[in-house]
Structures are given as structure tokens and as C-alpha cells.
Amino acid sequence: MSINRAVTAFAGAMVLLSVLLSAFVSPYFVWFTVFIGANLLQSAFTGFCPPALLFKAIGLTSAEDR
């Protein structure tokens, strides 16, 4: 799996988790969804993504490296 795909899968899982937590635990978990969206937006403009650094550290490679 490439870093790009892992980041996309991680972001999708976090959004689904935050929606479930908002629905079943507390409506304040909607702020988690807002945080994820803001992080995705800043990543699109800056290219900096903390999960990508984590995935690279555990050994995943980028699509360009293949």
C-alpha cells in the first residue's frame, strides 16, 4: 500500500468514526469531524500531513518510489 492510499483510508476511517461518535456518544464529537476536515484542507495547500510522516516511518513507500 502506498502512503497516499494509506492517508486516504485513514482520513475516511476517522471521518466515519467521528460521525459514529457524534451520533451515539456525544454531539460534541462533531468537532472531531471539523478538525479532520481542516487538517485535510491545510494538507491540500501546504503538502504537510502528519499521518503521512507516520506511515513513512513505519515503512510504507510513496507511489513515486515504485
Cα of 14 vs its chain's centroid, Å: 6
Q: What integer pLDDT is reported at residue 65 of this predicted model?
A: 58
Question: Distance between CA atoms of 34 and 9, rounded to whole angstroms?
Answer: 17
Domains of the chain by residue range: 3-60
Helix (H) or strand (E) holding 51: helix 50-57
pLDDT in tens, 38-60: 999 999 999 999 999 999 999 99
pLDDT at 25: 97
Which amino acid, residue 56?
K
* Percentage of residues of the chain with pLDDT beyond 70: 94
- Grid cell locating 59: 515503512
Q: Has this prediction a pTM greater than 0.85?
A: no
Helix axes 3-24, 30-46, angle to 10 degrees: 160
